[in-house]
Structure 1
Amino acid sequence: MKRVIKDYKSIGLELFQLLIKSFPHGIYEDDLIQFTKPTGEKINALELKTEDVIYLIKMDLEMHNRIDSFTGDFEGLDPYSDGYRDNF
């Protein structure tokens, strides 16, 4: 199985939707994997598996908040589309 490390800023809509679906109640500290780069920088990442690839999505507070905004109960937002629902 292929392994890929991606920054959350470059995951695209399809992986973002899979992330929301895989963690419908949000991401907790126990869900994160921490590793150290050769430079000594510590990275927090979330493992996301597809049929062909295991992704490590590098996370930070901004992405954590972004995911939480989609997994909460927000009227009019649909995390499985690319925008707002038409409520008219």
Structure 2
Amino acid sequence: MQRLIRSFNTLTDQLKETLQEQYPDGIDTTHIKTIPTAKGEMLRVIELRTPEAMYLIKINSESRAEIDEFLDQDESSGSAGDDGDDGDEDNGLEGTDDAGSDDSANDDVDDDGGADDDDADDGGGDDDDEDEE
């Protein structure tokens, strides 16, 4: 299976729909994984699986807010009989960084706007990933 790294703002509408299907209640810290890049940096991602590929969607404080807004908007427009207002619920996205353990100024994630969306498997040969078939 092909593994691709993407930014949320570069996803197609079809992939955004798939994201909504796979994370109907939003994303929280249990969905976020930290992976090493080919450059040895650490990258925070969520997985988005399709029959063709596994997309690793880059997560930082800005993209988490965009994803949260998208999932909330899609949920409220697609639910019959639900006004979309769940009280104080925020799908675990807002306030998860309030513990002081994460500051966007100290993030290891490059805020490059998705310009370097590379394949996670870049032919380096060092990937012992068992996901490939």
Structure 1 or 2: more strand by fraction: 1
For residues 28-80 of structure 1, give each alpha carbon's deviation from its aligned partner in whole angstroms, at most 9, with x where no partner exists.
Answer: 111011123344532111111111211111112222222222333789745xx
Could you state the TM-score of these two structures normalised by the residue count of structure 2?
0.49
Structure 1 gap segments, 5+ residues each: 79-88
**Relative to 1, partners in 2 of residues 1:25 and 1:12: Cα closer, same or farther, differing over 3 Å?**
same
Distance in 1, matches of 2:10 and 2:50, equals: 17
The two structures, once aligned, show a CA RMSD in angstroms of 2.5
* 2:67 counterpart residue number: 67
Q: Which of the two has greater helix per residue?
A: 1
For the residue of structure 2 that corresponds to 1:16, the secondary structure is helix
1:34 aligns with 2:34: yes
2:30 counterpart SS class: helix
Inter-partner Cα distance in structure 2 for 1:35 and 1:75: 29
C-alpha distance 72-41 of structure 1, shift in aligned 2 (>3 A): same
Question: Secondary structure at the residue paired with 1:72?
Answer: helix
Letter in 2 for 1:44: R
How many corresponding residue pairs?
A: 78
Distance, in Å, in 2 between the alignment partners of 1:14 and 1:21 is: 11
Higher relative contact order (CA closer than 8 Å, sequence separation 6+)? 2
Segments of structure 2 that go 5 or more residues without pairing to the other structure are 79-133
TM-score (norm 1): 0.69
Task: Give the whole-Å Cα distance in 2 for the aligned partners of 1:26 and 1:58.
Answer: 15
